[in-house]
Homo-oligomer: A and B are copies of this chain.
Amino acid sequence: MSTAEPDIRPGEIAVPLPETFDAGVYFIGRIRTPWKRRDECPKNARGSDSECVIELDPRYAAGLDGVAGCSRLVLLYFMHQARRDLMVQRPRHHTAPRGTFSVRSPVRPNPIAMSVVRLVRVEGTTLSVVGLDCLDGTPLIDIKPYFASVDSVPDAVVERSKADSE
């Protein structure tokens, strides 16, 4: 990636990335959503109750055994259109620059998003879910059961130095 990216905004900081990757990922399916362009996506998953569809590559079909019993799932997916070199960034709905690891923006060294979704139904290798905010066609990289015992922390807080939306 060029060190002179044209679209850096005031206050943003880009760093040179390593020359090689350390490991590889497989795209194991695709996520179908109603949103074809970045500016159509909900600001975050709370913003939408649209049903979205996970199309799992049939190669991995046997891995779905037992998934239908999960009321919630953790999905990991690859935000393949995001740049990876910004360590301080100014997402479109934020007023102040933010450290990359303090925001959920797709812009990060490994553009892997995590969403907790409600499972509506499983039909073959197709899962209908609610709670996504990503672009149509986003590559899926993992499906996990959500365990309230370890994943749910209702009183977790994020303190911001400035009043701002997350």
Q: How many interface residues does chain A have, given as a range?
A: 35 or more
B104 touches A145 (CB 8 A): yes
Complex Cα distance, B69 from A128, in Å, reads 35
What sequence of 0s and 1s flags, for each residue 149-166 of chain A, a beta carbon within 8 Å of any chain B beta carbon? 111111111111100001
User: A63's contact among B22, B80, B101, B131, by CB below 8 Å, is which?
Assistant: B101
What 10 A-B pairs come out closest when comparing CB atoms?
A: A21-B24, A65-B99, A66-B102, A69-B159, A63-B100, A62-B87, A72-B156, A63-B87, A101-B143, A22-B27
Q: Could you give 15 example pairs across A and B, Cβ below 8 Å?
A: A23-B24, A23-B25, A23-B78, A23-B139, A26-B110, A45-B150, A63-B87, A63-B109, A70-B157, A71-B155, A76-B76, A108-B142, A116-B151, A148-B157, A151-B156
